Amino acid sequence: MVQLWMFASPVAYPYSVIPERWQLVYALNPMAGIISGYRSAMLGEPFRWAEMAISFLVAAVLFSIGAVYFRRIERRFADIV
């Protein structure tokens, strides 16, 4: 899963390699915005605010869903693990 996640994030290739029509969908990956931001800072590429915002919103939604789910099973969590 980690290896798949690495190829699904712009670690080994620049963001500009992704076709224009797929860049917005690609920004749904929460790590895409963070890695793109680091790449912008280190390599002088243009900073992509829209993709960063989309990645942040997706991460916030996933965190909220995870927190709600954990709250629901918190009492049984020790029994499951």
Q: Is-contact 55 32, C-beta < 8 A?
A: yes
Q: State residue 80's pLDDT score.
A: 63
Q: State residue 79's pLDDT score.
A: 66
The mean pLDDT of 64-69, rounded to a whole number, is 95
CA dist 31 and 12 (Å) reads 13
Is the pLDDT score of 63 beyond 80? yes
Q: State residue 53's pLDDT score.
A: 94
Output the CA angle 76-70-10, nearest 5 degrees. Answer: 140
Is the pLDDT score of 32 beyond 80? yes
